[in-house]
Structure 1
Amino acid sequence: MFGSPVDFSFKELNTIPDILSDVPNPGALRLKRDSEQKFLSRTLRLNNNFISDLSGLTDIVSALFVEPNRLAWLDLSFNEIEHINPVLTQLKELRLLYLHGNRICKLSEVDKLTVLPSLNTITLHGNPIVTEPDYRSHLIATLPHVKMIDFSAVTKQERTLTSVWQKSRNPRKSTSQSKVD
Structure 2
Amino acid sequence: MRHRHPMFHGREPEEKGTSSQNPDENSENQLNDVQDFIFLNCHGLHLYALEDSQCYSSLKICILSKNFIIDMSPLKNCTQLIKLDLHSNQIRIVPDGTFWSAMKQLKLLYLHDNSFVKLKNVCSLSACPNLIALTLYDCPVSLKKGYRHVIVNSIWSLKILDNFVVSDEEIIENWELPERFKTLSKHLFCDITPVLVKGSNYEKELFQMNYVISKINRVVAHNSPVVILQRWIRGHLTRRLWYVLLFKHMFRY
Once the 2 structures are TM-superposed, how far is the Cα of residue 19 of structure 1 from its aligned partner? 8.9
Equivalent residue in structure 1 for 2:156, among 141, 144, 148:
144
Q: Does residue 81 of structure 1 match 2:91? A: yes
Q: Residues 10 and 132 (structure 1 numbering): CA distance in 2 closer, same or farther, change over 3 Å?
A: same
* Residues 101 and 129, structure 2, Cα contact 8 Å, conserved in 1: no
Amino acid in structure 1 at the alignment position of 2:114: N
Call closer, same or farther: CA 1:93–1:19 in 2, change over 3 Å.
Answer: same
* Structure 1 residues 150 and 5: CA distance shift in structure 2, 3 A: farther
Q: Cα 1:19–1:13, aligned 2, differ >3 Å: closer, same or farther?
A: farther
* Counterpart in the other structure of 1:155: 167
Structure 2 vs 1, CA of residues 157 and 93 (structure 1 numbering), >3 Å: closer, same or farther? same
Q: Establish whether residue 10 from structure 1 lines up as the match of residue 44 from structure 2.
A: yes
The aligned residue for residue 61 of structure 2 is: 43
Q: CA–CA distance in 1 between the matches of 2:72 and 2:112?
A: 15
- The Cα of 1:145 is off from its aligned counterpart by 1.2
Deviation at 1:17, TM superposition (A): 1.6
Give the 5 Å matches for 1:80-119: 80-86=90-96, 87-119=99-131
CA contact (8 A) 1:122 1:146 kept: yes
Q: CA deviation at 1:158?
A: 2.2
1:53-72 residue pairs with structure 2 within 5 A? 53-59=71-77, 61=78, 69-72=79-82
- Normalization by structure 2: what TM-score? 0.49
Q: Distance in 2 between matches of 1:144 and 1:10?
A: 32
Please give the root-mean-square deviation of Cα atoms over the aligned residues, in Å.
2.7
1:169-180 equivalence runs, <5 A:
none
State whether residues 88 and 113 of structure 2, in contact with CA within 8 Å, keep that contact through their aligned partners in structure 1. Answer: yes
TM-score scaled to structure 1, two decimals? 0.67
1:132 is the counterpart of 2:169:
no
Whether contact under 8 Å (1:8, 1:19) holds in the other structure is no
Greater fraction of residues in helix: 2
| Deviations 1:39-90 (CA, angstroms, capped at 9, x unpaired) | 976210011110001232234x3xxxxxxx3211101110001110233443
Distance 1:115 1:39 in 2: 19
**Count, aligned residues:** 138
- Provide the C-alpha distance between the structure 1 equivalents of 2:50 and 2:95, rounded to a whole number of angstroms: 12
Please give the secondary structure, in 2, of the residue aligned with 1:112.
helix
Give per-residue Cα distances to partners, 1:109-129, cap 9 Å, x unaligned.
Answer: 122111111011110001001
8 Å Cα contact 1:75-1:98 kept in structure 2: yes
Give 5+ residue unaligned stretches, structure 2: 1-8, 11-37, 175-253
Structure 1: segments with no counterpart, 5+ residues: 21-37, 62-68, 165-181
Query: Aligned equivalents of 2:57 and 2:102: distance in 1?
Result: 19
Identity within the alignment, %? 29
